[in-house]
């Protein structure tokens, strides 16, 4: 019998493991600069911990968790609840009023496997507990941006505020009324959510539902004074730190513990738009789980599988670029060969990947050879060009051609050519 991995689970083989190591090492380097400390928590926790923290009416708790029903235990579907449990159990707030923590490891959700998301998936999770200032929100978001920048990834940042227990009930009432008016046209999930978790209808992936909520009331327009002031402070902090962002008034979080600031880093390089990192503030969670009252917190999680896909794309692009010749010299005739050989050698001294054909074959044959080495440019030199002491420089991607002077010593010509390439 031949055994294979279970659907939704994946082996990480040596070639890919190098990218995982790079991702983790980059994250640890960034976190050290911001004073974060690592916590390693179990992958199995009490089912009640997740039900209370995440919310019993959420999709995660209702239908995605791997739960041992007879034991009351669950494989963790996310990291924040377990970190909060450890923070409370070990009295970390007594040791240091503001805790800066991170953890790295596998999570588990029984949902349809998709590109960049398995049933066992991995996250880098960051939590800052014990401070409520909006400047801290901005610092945390800026740290995530710095990490993604250091990895060389192109992402866009979207932010929102989802209010607090004081201003959200009035907004919820307005939203429910709007949804009831559209009820017959909503998908089955959104109809169910109207009375259990109406905010989740705002980020439904169903195209018809998305169009129906475009006119829904916005939480940003219904914030209490404290939440509005806090969100203005977050935006000001991001501007101060030169972190670009867009306001997304429909952004919500799928877990009940979030309050106020929410944010996502989005990439368009995985086909459809996908979040590679997301998080927000959760000021009531510690108290909700039996910890000290009025303990604020904010955090985010990075999806490692999606980041690895982006790093693989980046590596493939770099490999292609590395394999391409910078210039192919098409020398037509013996005199042209004698002119091009020292020029190609000088280009190599300048660090360029340059090559040529010494056989004086036809231009068509040499252009085929330039294509085989994926040359970015071709320098065409024949008898007519030598008479004028110039060559034709062809961009092999656009086929655009320009005249290039061959006057001067080979090293001088190579220096000019290097600047153009």
Query: pLDDT digit string (tens) for 253-283?
Result: 766 678 899 999 999 887 766 889 999 999 9
Enumerate the β-bridge partners of residue 67: 74
Q: What distance in Å separates the CA atoms of residue 176 and residue 181, rounded to the nearest whole number?
A: 9
Give tens-digit pLDDT for 114-150: 777 789 999 999 999 999 999 999 999 999 999 999 9
Calculate ∠ Cα 200-204-205, nearest 5°: 155
- Please say whether the beta carbons of 66 and 74 come within 8 A: yes
Of 217, 229, 38, which Cα lies nearest the Cα of 125? 38
Instruction: Domain ranges for the chain, please list them.
Output: 14-167+223-316, 324-420
Q: What distance in Å separates the CA atoms of residue 8 and residue 22, rounded to the nearest whole number?
A: 24
Q: Residue 275, class by beta-carbon neighbours within 10 Å (0-12 exposed, 13-18 middle, 19+ buried)? A: middle
Enumerate the β-bridge partners of residue 257: none
Q: What pLDDT sits at residue 262? A: 94
For residue 152, what is the DSSP state?
A: T
Q: Which CATH number fits domain 324-420: 3.90.1150.10, 3.40.50.720, 3.90.25.10, 3.40.50.800?
A: 3.40.50.800
Strands 99-108 and 37-38: parallel
**Token pair recorded at residue 132:** 């409520």
Q: What pLDDT sits at residue 254? A: 62
Mean pLDDT, the chain, integer: 87
Among 146-155, 312-321, 344-353, the minimum mean pLDDT is found in 312-321
Q: What pLDDT sits at residue 273? A: 60
Q: What pLDDT sits at residue 305? A: 92
Q: What pLDDT sits at residue 128? A: 96
Given the structure tokens 């004074």, which residue do they identify? Answer: 225
Q: Report residue 108's pLDDT band, with 50, 70 and 90 as the boundaries.
A: very high
Strands 274-281 and 259-267: antiparallel
Calculate ∠ Cα 362-322-377, nearest 5°: 35
Share of the chain above pLDDT 90, in %: 42
Q: What pLDDT sits at residue 417? A: 80
- Asked whether residue 400 carries a pLDDT value surpassing 80, the answer given is yes
Q: Domain spanning 14-167+223-316: which CATH class is it, in words?
A: alpha beta
Give tens-digit pLDDT for 56-106: 767 777 778 888 888 889 999 999 999 999 999 999 989 899 999 999 999
Q: Residue 402, class by beta-carbon neighbours within 10 Å (0-12 exposed, 13-18 middle, 19+ buried)? A: exposed
Strands 99-108 and 73-75: unpaired
Among 6-15, 222-231, 301-310, the minimum mean pLDDT is found in 6-15
Calculate mean pLDDT across residues 201-211. Answer: 74
- Please say whether the beta carbons of 261 and 159 come within 8 A: yes
- Asked whether residue 31 carries a pLDDT value surpassing 90, the answer given is yes
Mean pLDDT highest for which of 94-108, 186-200, 358-372? Answer: 94-108
Calculate mean pLDDT across residues 200-227. Answer: 80
Q: What pLDDT sits at residue 256? A: 66
Q: What pLDDT sits at residue 159? A: 96
Of 194, 195, 183, 41, which Cα lies nearest the Cα of 104? 41
Q: What distance in Å separates the CA atoms of residue 378 and residue 388, rounded to the nearest whole number?
A: 18
Q: What distance in Å separates the CA atoms of residue 283 and residue 288, rounded to the nearest whole number?
A: 10
Dihedral class, residue 92 (left if φ above 0, else alpha if ψ from -120 to 50, else beta): alpha
Name the pTM for this structure: 0.75
- Please say whether the beta carbons of 311 and 22 come within 8 A: yes
């Amino acid at each position: 019998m031949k055994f294979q991995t279970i659907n939704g689970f994946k082996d990480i083989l040596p070639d890919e493991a190098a990218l995982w190591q790079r991702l983790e090492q980059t994250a640890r380097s960034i976190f050290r600069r911001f004073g974060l400390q690592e916590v390693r928590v179990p992958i199995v926790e009490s089912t009640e911990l997740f039900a209370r923290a995440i919310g019993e009416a959420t999709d995660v708790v209702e239908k995605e968790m791997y739960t041992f029903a007879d034991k009351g235990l669950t494989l963790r579907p996310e990291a924040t609840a377990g970190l909060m449990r450890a923070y409370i159990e070990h009295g970390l707030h007594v040791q240091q009023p503001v805790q800066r923590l991170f953890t790295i490891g596998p999570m588990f959700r029984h949902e349809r496997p998709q590109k960049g998301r398995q049933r066992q998936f991995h996250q880098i999770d960051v939590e800052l507990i014990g401070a409520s200032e909006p400047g801290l929100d901005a610092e945390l978001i800026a740290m995530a941006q710095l990490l993604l920048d250091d990895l060389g990834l192109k992402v866009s940042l979207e932010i929102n505020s989802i209010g607090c227990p004081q201003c959200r009930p009035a907004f919820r009432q307005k939203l429910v009324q709007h949804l009831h008016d559209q009820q017959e046209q909503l998908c089955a999930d959104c109809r169910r959510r109207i009375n259990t978790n109406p905010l989740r209808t705002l980020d439904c992936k169903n195209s018809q539902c998305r169009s129906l909520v475009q006119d829904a009331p916005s939480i940003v327009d219904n914030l209490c004074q404290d939440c509005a002031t806090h969100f203005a402070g977050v935006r000001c902090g991001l501007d101060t730190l030169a972190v670009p962002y867009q306001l997304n008034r429909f952004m919500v979080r799928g877990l009940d513990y979030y309050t106020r600031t929410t944010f996502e880093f989005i990439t368009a390089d995985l086909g459809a738009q996908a979040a590679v990192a997301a998080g927000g503030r959760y000021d009531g969670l510690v108290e909700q789980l039996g910890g000290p009252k009025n303990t604020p917190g904010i955090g985010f999680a990075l999806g490692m599988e999606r980041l690895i896909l982006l790093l693989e794309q980046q590596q493939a692009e770099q490999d292609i670029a590395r394999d391409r010749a910078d210039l192919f010299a098409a020398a037509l005739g013996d005199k042209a060969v004698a002119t091009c050989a020292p020029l190609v050698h000088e280009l190599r001294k300048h660090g360029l990947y340059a090559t040529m054909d010494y056989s004086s074959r036809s231009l068509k044959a040499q252009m085929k050879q330039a294509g085989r080495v994926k040359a970015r440019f071709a320098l065409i030199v024949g008898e007519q060009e030598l008479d004028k002491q110039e060559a034709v420089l062809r961009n092999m991607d656009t086929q655009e051609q320009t005249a290039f002077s061959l006057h001067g010593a080979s090293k001088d010509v190579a220096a000019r050519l290097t600047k153009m390439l």
